[in-house]
Amino acid sequence: MTDLRDHAEAIAEQFSDHLEPSPDVDEIEAKLDNLVTDYRVPVEEARRSVTNSYLDEAGLERDELGRGGSERVDVAEIDDDEQWVDLRVTVVDLWEPRSDAVAQVGLLGDESGTIKFTAFETSDLPLLEEGQAYELSNVVTDEYEGRYSVKLNRTTSITPIDADIEVGDNAVTVEGALVDVQSGSGLIKRCPEEDCTRVLQNGRCSEHGKVEGEFDLRIKAVLDDGTEVHEVIFDREATEDLTGVTLEEAKQEAMDALDTTVVADGMAEDVLGRYYRVTGPTLGRYVLVNELEEPGPVDVEQALINARSI
Amino acid sequence: MSQSGSTPTREVARRVFATEFNDAGYTFKESEDERAPVYSLLPTGESANRVFFVGTLTEKDDVGEDNEYWRGRIVDPTGTFFVYAGQYQPEAANTLRELEPPAYVAVVGKPRTYETDDGSINVSVRPESITRVDAVVRDRWVAETAERTLERVARFDDEGNEYARMADEQYDRDPETYKAAALAALEDLDEAGEGSDGSDPESETSLEA
Give the residues of chain A that fall short of pLDDT 70: 1-2, 17, 61-69, 145-146, 169-170, 284
Residue of chain A whose Cα is closest to the Cα of B183: A307
Contact call for residues B17 and B181 (beta carbons, < 8 A): yes
The band of B18, judged by pLDDT with boundaries at 50, 70 and 90, is: very high
pLDDT of residue A61: 67
ipTM field: 0.87
The strand ranges marked E within A14-144 are 71-72, 84-95, 102-110, 113-120, 133-144
**Using CA atoms, how far apart are residues B173 and B170, in angstroms rounded to an integer?**
9
**Using CA atoms, how far apart are residues A41 and A88, in angstroms rounded to an integer?**
30
Q: Is the dihedral of CA A128, A134, A138, A143 positive or negative?
A: positive
Q: Report how far apart, in Å, the C-alpha atoms of A54 and of each of A8, A23, A32, A84 are.
A: 12, 8, 13, 18
- The one-letter code for the residue type at A174 is V
B133 is a domain residue: yes
Q: Pick A295's closest partner by Cβ from B13, B54, B140.
A: B140
Q: How far is B157 from chain A (nearest CA, A)?
A: 14
Tell me if chain B has a CB within 8 Å of the CB of A285: yes
Residue of chain A whose Cα is closest to the Cα of B9: A229
The band of B158, judged by pLDDT with boundaries at 50, 70 and 90, is: very high
Whether residues B2 and A269 touch (CB distance < 8 A) is answered with no
pLDDT of residue B205: 44
Q: How far is A221 from chain B (nearest CA, A)?
A: 12
B43 is a domain residue: yes
Question: Which CATH number is B36's domain given?
Answer: 2.40.50.140
B104 is a domain residue: yes
pLDDT of residue A253: 95
* DSSP character at residue B208: -
For chain B, how many structural domains are there in total? Answer: 1
- Residues B56-85: tens digit of each pLDDT: 999 999 999 988 999 999 999 999 999 999
Contact call for residues A88 and A73 (beta carbons, < 8 A): no
B40 is a domain residue: yes
Q: Which A-chain residues 36-55 have CB contacts (< 8 A) with chain B?
A: none
The answer, yes or no, to whether residue B4 has pLDDT greater than 50, is: no
Which ranges in B129-175 belong to alpha helices (H)?
135-155, 162-170
Contact call for residues A213 and A190 (beta carbons, < 8 A): yes
B200 is a domain residue: no
- Residues A258-288: tens digit of each pLDDT: 999 999 999 999 999 999 999 987 776 789 8
- Residues B183-209: tens digit of each pLDDT: 999 998 888 766 445 455 554 444 444
The band of B7, judged by pLDDT with boundaries at 50, 70 and 90, is: very low
Q: Which A-chain residues 150-179 have CB contacts (< 8 A) with chain B?
A: 170, 172, 174, 177, 179
What does pTM read for this prediction?
0.67
pLDDT of residue B193: 67
B96 is a domain residue: yes
Residues spanned by the domain of B122? 10-194
Task: Read off the pLDDT of each residue in B94-99 and give the average, rounded to a whole number.
Answer: 94
Q: How far is B208 from chain A (nearest CA, A)?
A: 8
B98 is a domain residue: yes
Helices B135-155 and B176-195, interaxial angle, to 10°? Answer: 150
Say whether A306 sits in a helix, a strand or coil. Answer: helix
The answer, yes or no, to whether residue B13 has pLDDT greater than 50, is: yes
B175 is a domain residue: yes
pLDDT of residue B186: 93
Contacts of B190 in chain A (CB under 8 A): 300-301, 304
